[in-house]
Amino acid sequence: MRIAIASGKGGTGKSTVAANLAWALSRSRDVTLVDCDVEEPNLHLFFPAPATDVPVTTPNPEIDAARCTLCGECGKFCRFGALAVVKDCVLTFPHLCHSCGGCTLVCPHGAIREVPRTIGRVSCSRPLSRLVLISGVLNEGEVQAPAVIRAAKVLAEGHPLTLYDASPGTSCPVIETIAGSDACILVTESTPFGLHDLSLAAEVAEKLGTPAGVVINRSNGQDEATVAFCREHGLPVLMTIPFSREIAAVQNRGGLISRDLPGWEERFAGLFRAIPGVSP
Partner 1 sequence: MIRLAVVSGKGGTGKTMVAAALADIGEVPQVLADCDVDAANLALLFPLRRISTEEFQGIEISRINLDLCRDCGICADRCRFGAIVRRDDAWTVDPLHCEGCGVCSYTCPVGAIQMEPHTCGEIYTSMTDRGNLAHARLFPGSGNSGLLVTEVKKRAVALSEGADLMLADGPPGIGCPLIATVSGMDAVLVVTEPGISALHDLSRLVTVCRRFGVRIFVVINRFDLADDICKEIEDYCAKENLAVAGKIPFDPAVIEAVREGRPVTRRDSPAAEALREIQESLFSELGLI
Q: Does residue 169 touch partner 1 according to CB under 8 A?
A: yes
Query: Distance between CA 219 and CA 211 in Å, rounded?
Result: 23
Which of 67, 196, 231, 273 touches partner 1 by CB under 8 A? Answer: 196
Q: Does residue 172 touch partner 1 according to CB under 8 A?
A: yes
Pairing of strands 131-138, 162-165: unpaired
Which of 28, 69, 118, 171 touches partner 1 by CB under 8 A? Answer: 171
Q: How many residues bind partner 1 (CB under 8 A)?
A: 56
Q: Does residue 140 touch partner 1 according to CB under 8 A?
A: yes
Cβ contacts of residue 137 below 8 Å, gap of 6+?
38, 41, 120, 121, 122, 123, 148
Q: Does residue 106 touch partner 1 according to CB under 8 A?
A: yes
Q: Does residue 222 touch partner 1 according to CB under 8 A?
A: yes
Q: Does residue 228 touch partner 1 according to CB under 8 A?
A: no
Min separation Cβ 252 and partner 1, Å: 4
Q: Does residue 101 touch partner 1 according to CB under 8 A?
A: yes
Q: Does residue 100 touch partner 1 according to CB under 8 A?
A: yes
CA-nearest of 77, 122, 120 to 100 is 77
Q: Which is nearer to partner 1, 77 or 182 (CB)?
A: 77
Which of 57, 191, 240, 244 touches partner 1 by CB under 8 A? Answer: 191
- Burial of 201-212, coded b for 16+ CB within 10 Å and e otherwise, reads bbebbeebebbb
Q: Does residue 229 touch partner 1 according to CB under 8 A?
A: no
Q: Which is nearer to partner 1, 139 or 278 (CB)?
A: 139
Pairing of strands 162-165, 2-6: parallel
Alpha helices for 91-171 (secondary structure H): 102-106, 145-155
Min separation Cβ 260 and partner 1, Å: 14
Alpha helices for the chain (secondary structure H): 14-26, 43-46, 73-77, 102-106, 145-155, 172-178, 192-207, 224-232, 245-252, 257-260, 264-274
Query: Distance between CA 156 and CA 98 in Å, rounded?
Result: 24
Query: Distance between CA 31 and CA 36 in Å, rounded?
Result: 16
- Give residues 5-44 in contact with partner 1 (rule: CB under 8 A): 8-12, 15, 37, 39-40, 42
Query: What is the Cα gyration radius of the chain?
Result: 22
CB burial of residue 182 (10 Å; 0-12, 13-18, 19+): middle
Min separation Cβ 10 and partner 1, Å: 1
Q: Which residue stretch of 24-32, 127-135, 151-159, 243-251 sits at the interface with partner 1 (rule: CB under 8 A)?
A: 243-251
Q: Which is nearer to partner 1, 70 or 200 (CB)?
A: 200
Q: Does residue 252 touch partner 1 according to CB under 8 A?
A: yes
Are residues 217 and 12 in contact, defined by beta-carbon separation less than 8 angstroms?
Answer: yes
Residues lying near partner 1 in the complex (CB under 8 A) = 8-12, 15, 37, 39-40, 42, 45, 77, 79-80, 98-102, 105-106, 138, 140-143, 145, 167-173, 175, 179, 191-193, 196-197, 200-201, 203-204, 207-208, 220, 222, 245, 248-249, 251-254
